[in-house]
């Protein structure tokens, strides 16, 4: 079979679409998590690993694991960063821009090429090939090239870490965007070939290793509140609290 990244014929790995470490907060003591659907016609499912698909050869899998490992360290305090808080924003400096951006791009691209129904809303069109070539070359691109706005979903002053929501598309500042929620993080990718406003470009991670992470209450995220409302109507939120 052909590797989706290098396009060579090879034995393919079971590749995670969302990296495995981002599911860590969902697992119970038997390393299981419950995937809850808002579709009343479908049953909830239980998993012992995050969603996977045969996509990459071992060499490409290892290549993409480097930015994943870096992001895992960033989230778990394994990277020395300078963090300055101003109201509802965290200003970060000391980031490895290339590894952070490659991590962001790899998640977006894998969701775009996945055939799993959970990722059906991510349709990258001609951007799919452009991002593939960037990942293959280890090229993170400019800050405003497939930039990603990062937020922390907050509930009662704490990150809401135990949630992963299938990505959805939306219009953002007049551009097509994709929203991912995992491990308390909200990633909003702006996918466009058009020129971006200067203020929007500054919301992305910058090549000098700085980035802004917004602290945003879940009650201010309408798409998340819509999801919670659908689950509540099906009685599934009550089941989870029990």
Q: pLDDT (tens digit, 9 = 90+) per residue, 48-97? A: 456 889 999 999 999 999 999 999 999 888 888 999 999 999 999 999 99
Overall domain count for the chain: 1
Task: Give the other-Cβ count within 10 Å of 116's Cβ.
Answer: 12
Per-residue confidence at 44, pLDDT binned at 50, 70, 90? Answer: very low
Structure tokens at 104: 């962001």
The closest of 142, 127, 139, 148 to 200, measured between CA atoms, is 148
HSE of 180 in the Cβ direction (CA atoms, 13 Å)? 26
Q: Would residue 3 count as lying in a domain?
A: no
Residue 97, by phi and psi: left (phi above 0), alpha (psi -120 to 50) or beta? alpha
**Beta pairing class for 45-47 and 164-172:** unpaired
pLDDT at 230: 57
106 pLDDT higher than 50: yes
User: For residue 1, is it within any domain?
Assistant: no
Among 27-36, 73-82, 215-224, which stretch is predicted with the lowest mean pLDDT?
27-36
Q: Is residue 157 part of a domain?
A: yes
Return the pLDDT at 34: 46
pLDDT of 35 over the 50 cut: no
**Six-digit token string for 242:** 């029990």
Domain that holds residue 150: 12-241
Q: Would residue 210 count as lying in a domain?
A: yes
Looking at the predicted structure, is the pLDDT value of residue 116 above 80? yes
Q: Tell me the per-residue pLDDT of 132-188, one tens digit each, with 9 for 90 and over.
A: 999 999 999 999 999 999 998 887 888 777 677 788 899 998 999 999 988 778 999
Residues 6 or more apart whose Cβ sits within 8 Å of residue 140: 97, 98, 101, 102, 105, 134
Is residue 225 scored above 70 in pLDDT? no
Structure-block tokens of residue 138: 């280890």
More reliable by pLDDT, 223 or 18: 18
- Indicate if the pLDDT at residue 206 is higher than 80: yes
Position 4 in a domain: no
Is 111 contained in some domain?
yes
Judge whether 6 lies within some domain.
no
Residue 125 exposure: Cα atoms within 13 Å on the Cβ side: 5
Average pLDDT of the chain, as a whole number: 84
What are the pLDDT digits (tens) for 171-187?
998 999 999 988 778 99
**Is residue 116 in a domain?**
yes
Across the strands, what pairs with 215? 152
Give residue 236's pLDDT: 46
């Amino acid at each position: 079979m052909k590797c989706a990244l290098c396009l060579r014929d090879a034995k393919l790995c079971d590749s995670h679409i969302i990296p495995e470490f981002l599911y860590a907060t969902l697992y119970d003591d038997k390393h299981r998590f419950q995937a809850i659907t808002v579709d009343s016609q479908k049953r909830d499912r239980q998993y012992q690993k995050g969603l996977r698909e045969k996509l990459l050869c071992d060499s490409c899998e290892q290549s993409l694991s480097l930015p994943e490992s870096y992001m895992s360290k960033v989230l778990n305090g394994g990277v020395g960063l300078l963090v300055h808080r101003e109201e509802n924003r965290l200003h970060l400096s000391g980031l490895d821009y290339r590894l952070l951006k490659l991590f962001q791009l790899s998640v977006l691209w894998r969701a775009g090429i996945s055939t799993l129904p959970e990722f059906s809303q991510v349709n990258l069109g001609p951007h799919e090939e452009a991002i593939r070539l960037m990942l293959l070359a280890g090229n993170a691109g400019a800050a405003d090239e497939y930039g990603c706005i990062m937020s922390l979903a907050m509930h009662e002053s704490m990150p809401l870490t135990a949630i992963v929501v299938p990505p959805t598309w939306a219009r953002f500042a007049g551009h097509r965007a994709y929203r991912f929620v995992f491990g308390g993080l909200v990633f909003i990718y702006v996918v466009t070939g058009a020129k971006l406003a200067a203020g929007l470009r500054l919301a992305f991670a910058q090549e000098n290793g700085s980035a802004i992470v917004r602290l945003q209450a879940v009650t201010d995220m309408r798409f998340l509140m819509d999801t919670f409302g659908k689950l509540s109507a099906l009685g599934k939120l009550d089941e989870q609290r029990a």
